[in-house]
Chains A and B, each alone.
Chain A
Amino acid sequence: MNPLFEALQLARQDFFKLRKHRAAPAWAMWLLTGLVSLAWGVGLLALIAVLGRRWDDLDWLLAQAPPFFASTFLIGAVFHVVFTLIERQAPQRFLDWANGEPSVSVSVFYGAISMACVGLGLGLSYLLLGQIPGMEKALWAPQRSWWSFTLLGIFASVLWGLWAWQQWHEEQLRRQAKEAELRLLQAQIEPHYLFNTLANVRSLIDFDPPAAGQLLDAFTDHLRVSLTSMRAETVPLERELELVGHYLRLMQLRMGERLSFSITADPALRSLPVPPLLLQPLVENAIHHGLECCIDAGHVQIQAERQGELLVLSVRDNGVGLDTPKKRKGNGVATQNIRERLASRYGERARLLLQSAPPRGTLATLQIPLPTP
């Protein structure tokens, strides 16, 4: 019972969306299609019984049910095959369009496909069922209801379009609110960082006033960019790199020769819009890993490159790596936060990977789809 239920739960996720990868096994998807078809069958049969004033005629209902349900299951199967084929064969960009804002063209697409599927299903059921002996006794024959099905199909697509549009807008609002909240969390200044930086400035004022000035400048730059970024939906990649650059420069002034870093980015990518403050928490983690337990010099390497349709941002450190037990608690919060932000904005198309980077250290990789031109 439980594995079955779990598989169905998985299948239910985004069942009505187009996805290249599904968590649920294929049989669960088929089972769910069967259940949905059954629900449609029951609903339509009830509707026809009510409209035909035959709802109290049990014999009629029993006679109608087998061919009727057989047809709905066939239509369901056609839907399943057609949409699975679209999912598999169509380019991701097309699926994004179909899953995106339910504009008139998207509604027309779904309406047309749905009607084609219903038509194909009905044709199939006529071919198959029409020849089964005994079926001729049934009052309901597919070809008689052709027009009512077409009308119902148009009616359903319009309803679906309106409903989907409403849903889509609500989801956008929810997503924006959530995104703003997560961004705010990531922009929070860690008190340790703040007070230790101030302590360094305070100390350098006495010993090395020019260095105190440099540190204060880096701190100001970092604060300014992070505050502006916090309010933006997207920022140019350049800005994001600038932000972590200021942060690393500051940490280097604090830590001395213990920290070195490099930032390399393809100049063509610098103006690409990216969600703000995704890189900063990864760099903070790298600093903590790199300098937390390792007493010797730490190095942080940041890279931005294009790989096919993806923008790939990577942060590599030469610290303790992922296998050692973590001393600092709450490390997972930042990465969880990033994953949620990516999922709400890009769905499955963006990823955050954390892996060990031999000979030692951690490699964090962000994969974000390039914006469609």
Chain B
Amino acid sequence: MSLRALIADDEPHLARHLQALLQQAWPELQIVATARHGLEAAQQIAELNPDLAFLDIQMPGLTGLEVAQGIEGPTRVVFVTAYDEYAVQAFEAAALDYLLKPLQLERLQRCVARLRTSLGGSGSEADAQLGAALQALAPKVSHPLRFIRASNGELTHQIPVADILYFHADDKYTVVQTTRDEHLIRTPISELVEQLDPESFWQVHRSSIVNLQHLAGTRRDDNSRLFVRFHGHARELPVSRAYVARFKAM
């Protein structure tokens, strides 16, 4: 069975170059899509479920890192970057595969050789590596929020963070789900992560942060996708591949 891959880069010449080099280094790899920005990449990965995604980090729409945070299926990620000091340090530390631009055939061949051997395995090790790298790149929170303020018409609500089950991105808003109610706020998930206590609030997906205190457990579906469940609440939230390893360690 031939492997399928996606390439995401906002600069057309660079996407084409990677594709050409991959054809040389890995002829049986089939490039099924080339995305021109982060949103397109996230959408195509969800639709096509490719085995591999080569993601440029600095892209419009969503960054490569954000795209990776949203992958629920089995797609393996290889980051491509021109220069991201901290990201590269984190990839090194987590032994994650990454490519540097300008691409060099010899390095790509080495990367391909590693991917070939590891793609045969269960993939859980790669997920753990990606998780560790994203964890290392997560912002450090110095003064965690104790309340979230949400306004509803003329009323404003002061919500203690301890009462919150989860935050979930919903189009333009972020849903704040408490034990009793649902509120809408405008602060995006990426900013909330920077303000919540990482001991109790875990990001489990690009679009959700959950409160561990309210977690009832997890569920795995037929496609081996992982979901988190909450006490006294029906909705389950998907966990992206990168964060699955955190739940295994629990």
Residues of A whose CB lies within 8 Å of any CB of B are 191-192, 194-196, 198-204, 206-207, 254-256, 291-295, 325, 327
A195 CB contact (under 8 Å) in B60, B82, B191: B82
Report if B144 contacts A (CB, 8 A). no
Assembly CA distance A294 to B59 (angstroms): 10
Asked if B13 is at the interface (CB within 8 A of a chain A CB), the reply is: yes
Docked complex Cα distance between A295 and B13 (Å): 17
CA distance A21 to B16 in the complex (A): 57
Judge whether A203 and B13 touch: CB under 8 Å.
yes
Most buried by A among B11, B36, B37, B100: B11
Question: Would you call B61 an interface residue if the criterion is a C-beta within 8 Å of the partner chain's C-beta atoms?
Answer: yes
Within the complex, which residue of B16, B82, B84 is in contact with A203, where a contact is CB–CB below 8 Å?
B16
Structural contact, A200 and B14, CB atoms closer than 8 A: yes
B147 at the interface (CB under 8 A from A): no
Which of A191, A198, A202, A291 makes the CB contact (< 8 A) with B60? A291
Cα–Cα, bound, A236→B196 (Å): 51
Within 8 A of A (CB), among B4-32: 10-14, 16-17, 20
Using CB atoms, name the residue of chain A closest to B15: A203
In whole angstroms, what is the CA distance A206 to B191 when docked?
A: 42
9 residue pairs bridging A and B, Cβ less than 8 Å apart: A194-B83, A195-B100, A196-B101, A199-B82, A200-B13, A202-B17, A207-B13, A294-B60, A325-B191
A41 nearest CB across to chain B (Å): 51
Q: What residues of B have a CB within 8 angstroms of the CB of A256 in the complex? A: 12
Contact indicator A199/B101 (Cβ below 8 Å): yes
| With contact pairs A203-B16, A254-B11 given, residues A192 and B60 touching in the complex (Cβ less than 8 Å) | no
Closest to B66 in A: A327
Number of residues in B with C-beta < 8 Å to the partner?
25
Given A294-B60, A325-B188 in contact, is the A254-B83 Cβ separation under 8 Å?
no
Instruction: Give min CB distance, B38 to chain A, whole Å.
Output: 9
Q: Would you call A293 and B61 a contact (CB within 8 A)? A: yes
Cα distance A126–B58 in the bound complex, in angstroms: 76
Describe B's contact surface by its main secondary structure.
loop
Indicate if the CB atoms of B16 and A202 lie closer than 8 Å.
no
Which residues of the partner chain A approach B217 to less than 8 Å between Cβ atoms? none
Residues from chain B with Cβ under 8 Å of A196 in the complex: 11, 14, 82, 101
A202 to B101, CA, bound (A): 9
Least CB distance, B103 to chain A, in whole angstroms:
7
Residues of chain B within 8 A (CB-CB) of A201 are 102
Q: Which of B14, B20, B36 contacts A199 (CB 8 A)?
A: B14
- Known contacts A207-B17, A325-B191; 17 additional CB pairs below 8 A are A195-B82, A195-B102, A196-B11, A200-B14, A202-B17, A202-B102, A203-B14, A206-B17, A206-B20, A254-B13, A255-B11, A256-B12, A291-B10, A292-B60, A293-B60, A295-B40, A295-B61
- Bound-complex Cα distance A204 to B14 (A): 9
- Alpha-carbon gap, A3 to B63, bound state (A): 46
The 0/1 profile, CB within 8 Å of A marked 1, for residues 46-74 of chain B is: 00000000000010110100000000000
Instruction: Give me the 9 closest cross-chain CB pairs, A-B, nearest first.
Output: A203-B17, A195-B82, A199-B101, A191-B83, A199-B102, A202-B102, A196-B82, A203-B13, A195-B83
> Which of B16, B39, B191 has the most A CB atoms < 10 Å from its CB?
B16
Does A295 contact B16, Cβ atoms closer than 8 Å? no
A254–B11 Cα gap in the complex (Å)?
A: 6
Q: Closest residue to B63 on the A side, CB-wise? A: A327
Q: Give CA–CA (A204, B20) in the complex, Å.
A: 12
Q: What is the CA–CA distance of A198 and B188 in the complex, to the nearest angstrom?
A: 35
Q: By the criterion CB–CB under 8 Å, are A295 and B39 in contact? A: yes
Give the shortest distance, in Å, between A174 (CB) and chain B (any CB): 33
CB distance from A357 to the nearest CB of B (A): 19
CA distance A192 to B87 in the complex (A): 13
Residue contact A199 to B188, C-beta cutoff 8 Å? no
Q: Which residue of the partner chain B has the closest CB to A211?
A: B13
Contacts A203-B14, A295-B60: A198 and B191 contacting too (C-beta < 8 A)? no
A360→B16 CA distance, assembly (Å): 32
Contacts of A293 in B (CB 8 A): 60-61
Shortest Cβ distance from residue B248 to the other chain A in the assembled complex, whole angstroms: 32
Q: Are B13 and A204 in contact (CB-based, < 8 A)?
A: yes
The closest CB in chain B to the CB of A204 belongs to B13
Choose among A192, A255, A291 the residue with the greatest number of B CB atoms under 10 Å from its CB: A192
Chain A nearest CB: distance from B137 CB in Å?
13
Specify the chain B residue showing the minimal Cβ separation from A257: B12
Complex CA–CA separation, A199 to B11 (angstroms): 10
A33–chain B nearest beta-carbon distance, Å: 44
Question: Is B83 in contact with A200, judged by CB distance below 8 angstroms?
Answer: no
A198 and chain B: residue at smallest CB distance: B102
List the A side residues contacting B39 at CB < 8 Å: 295
Instruction: Give min CB distance, A10 to chain B, whole Å.
Output: 31
Q: How far is the CA of A227 from the CA of B20 in the complex (A)?
A: 35
Closest-CB distance, B164 to chain A (whole angstroms): 21
Given contacts A207-B16, A325-B191, contact A192 B103 (CB under 8 A): no
Given the contacts A195-B82, A293-B60, A200 and B11 also touching, CB distance less than 8 Å: yes
Q: Nearest Cβ distance between residue A125 and chain B, in whole angstroms?
A: 59
Which of B39, B61, B84, B100 is the most central at the interface, judged by chain A CB atoms within 10 Å of its CB?
Answer: B61
Report Cα–Cα, A49/B191, bound state, in Å: 68
Output the least CB separation between B66 and chain A (Å). 10
In the assembled complex, which residues on chain B have CB atoms less than 8 Å from the CB atom of A195?
82-83, 100-102
Scan residues 62-106 of chain B and give those whose CB is less than 8 A from a CB of chain A.
63, 82-84, 100-103
